């Protein structure tokens, strides 16, 4: 029988266990499993691990199967991925942290930052304001041709 006072250690890192978001594990195991904002942006672009989130960045899948990347909450859609793989990016700023989120998204798309996206975007990336993105969500548009027809 194991003594209650025995300190358990991680076999991989030989560190004491602590209680974390992932249950009991050592600090090194926790850091290896910690999800970063750049990971969420890459997951959004590549449509994988959609349930992962960080404290201020998360992905939602709408009933019409489009994906929305939110920064700090539902009031600020950072980006929308339509069914035709068109990416809509929010042109508005909100905070320094949201600017970093936008930078992570732009790098996940293969650009050096938002200015690079504005200058070099192709047909599959469109830029809209927060209010326009919310209108697109409200109207349930699924592809860029529906948006073009609506003249948002």
Q: To the nearest 10°, the Cα dihedral for 18, 23, 29, 30?
A: -90
CA distance 38 to 48: 13
* Whether residues 101 and 143 fall in one domain: yes
Report pLDDT for 11.
79
Q: What is the pLDDT of residues 22-76, one digit of tens each?
A: 667 777 776 666 789 999 999 999 998 888 888 889 999 998 899 999 999 999 9
Asked if residue 100 and residue 46 are part of one domain, the reply reads yes
Domain range holding 25?
Answer: 1-34
Q: What is the pLDDT of residue 2?
A: 47
56 in Cβ contact with 66 (< 8 Å) = no
Give the total number of structural domains in the chain.
2
- CA atoms of 86 and 64, how far apart (whole Å): 15
| Residues 117 and 83 placed together within one structural domain of the fold | yes
* Same domain assignment for residues 51 and 9: no
Most confident of 4-8, 16-20, 47-51: 47-51
């Amino acid at each position: 029988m194991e003594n209650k006072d025995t300190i358990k250690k991680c076999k991989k890192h030989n560190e004491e266990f602590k209680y974390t978001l992932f249950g009991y594990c050592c600090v090194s195991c926790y850091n290896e499993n910690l999800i970063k904002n750049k990971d969420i942006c890459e997951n959004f672009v590549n449509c994988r691990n959609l349930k992962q989130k960080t404290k201020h960045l998360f992905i939602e899948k709408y009933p019409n199967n489009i994906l929305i990347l939110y920064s700090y909450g539902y009031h600020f859609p950072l980006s929308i991925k339509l069914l035709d793989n068109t990416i809509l990016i929010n042109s508005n700023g909100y905070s320094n942290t949201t600017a970093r989120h936008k930078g992570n998204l732009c790098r996940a798309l293969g650009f050096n930052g938002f200015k690079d996206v504005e200058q070099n975007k192709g047909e599959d990336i469109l830029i809209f304001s927060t209010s326009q993105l919310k209108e697109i969500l409200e109207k349930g548009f699924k592809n860029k041709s529906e948006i073009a027809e609506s003249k948002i």
